[in-house]
Amino acid sequence: MPELVDVEMVRRKLLRWMKGARVVAVHATDRYVLRPASPATFRHALAGRTVRGVERRGKWLRVELDGDLRLFSHLGMTGDWALCAVGAPRMPSERARLDLVRGGAATALRYLDPRRFGRLVAARREIPEWCALGQDPLTDGLTERSLRRSLATSHRAVKERLMDQTALAGIGNVLATEALWIARIHPRARSNSLTAVEVRAIVRALWTAIRRELRDKPEGVERRRAYGRAGRSCPRCGKTFARIVLGGRTTVLCRRCQAPRHSARGAGRA
């Protein structure tokens, strides 16, 4: 699933493609992905408007248009936006298309979502999903103090808390797995049992993981140390990475580097 850095990359390209452009036509038919679910209402809301900017919070994008309209976009599991020529044949995974004009040049953007877990919401005000989002590390900052405050109120396993979008927006399985491995914290450690030193280590590790993804993504490479490496060797100690299921999600950890010291209540031992 696209998380913080993936969605930030989409924001940057949308801004490049859309800012100052006028939406001259909207092609959208997928009632499952669109809100309002009526394609005609959705098309009518967007057509004729000019794009002022593109914001991101967590895994949500917000395209700001004139007339106080916003287009919220969540990429779900596999969604993405792509540039295409006006009149290009429709792709099977295409759920919406915006025909744009900027400075006399016509282009089109299409929203692709093969699995249809994404959402496109046209609204005149903020939507509840956007308002419920917690602190976003890139737009709001992330400090030891703010993370300590967020962890102190939770009995849950630290990995689940880090991935709770209402607490910390944008952190998904990749960043949480990487950060906890870097910080040498067991994913099941109870959030409110962590010491100040451990919280500081997690904050630093999150920034390391985020910066690494920001650097690697545009180059099209993934140099992850722990995520997706179950069964392979830990690059730090050589022990084989283990895989556990936590909160319904697969988690990779090194049982030597991330020894369980503070198991979350009811979560059992790894």
Note the residues at the interface with Zn ion (CB under 5 A).
Answer: 234, 236-237, 239, 254, 256-257
Distances (CA, A) of 98 to 55, 70, 87, 108, 115: 18, 14, 11, 6, 20
Q: Which is nearer to Zn ion, 174 or 226 (CB)?
A: 226
Find tokens 């630290």 and name the residue: 158
Measured between alpha carbons, how far is 179 from 159 in angstroms, rounded to an integer?
9
Q: C-beta of 224: minimal distance to Zn ion in Å?
A: 14
Q: C-beta of 186: minimal distance to Zn ion in Å?
A: 12
Q: What backbone torsions phi and psi does residue 221 show, to the nearest 5 degrees?
A: -120, 155
* Whether residue 223 lies in the annotated active site: no
The pairing of strands 34-35 and 119-123 is parallel
Q: Which is nearer to Zn ion, 38 or 240 (CB)?
A: 240
Q: Which is nearer to Zn ion, 206 or 254 (CB)?
A: 254
* Whether residue 249 lies in the annotated active site: yes
Measured between alpha carbons, how far is 170 from 35 in angstroms, rounded to an integer?
22
Query: Which of 3, 8, 94, 213 is an active site residue?
Result: 3
Query: Which of 56, 57, 59, 224 is an active site residue?
Result: 59
Query: Which of 2, 8, 156, 161 is an active site residue?
Result: 2
Q: Which is nearer to Zn ion, 31 or 239 (CB)?
A: 239
Find tokens 């060797």 and name the residue: 233
Measured between alpha carbons, how far is 201 from 166 in angstroms, rounded to an integer?
22
* Whether residue 239 lies in the annotated active site: no
Query: Which of 19, 22, 184, 249 is an active site residue?
Result: 249
Find the DSSP H helices in the chain: 4-18, 39-46, 128-131, 137-140, 144-152, 158-162, 173-183, 196-216
Q: Coil, strand or helix: which one is 119? A: strand
Find the DSSP H helices in 126-224: 128-131, 137-140, 144-152, 158-162, 173-183, 196-216
Q: Which is nearer to Zn ion, 162 or 252 (CB)?
A: 252
Q: C-beta of 247: minimal distance to Zn ion in Å?
A: 22
Q: C-beta of 210: minimal distance to Zn ion in Å?
A: 21
* Whether residue 3 lies in the annotated active site: yes
Crossing angle of helices 196-216/4-18, nearest 10°? 40
Measured between alpha carbons, how far is 9 from 129 in angstroms, rounded to an integer?
21
Q: C-beta of 198: minimal distance to Zn ion in Å?
A: 17
Please give the positions annotated as active site.
2-3, 59, 249
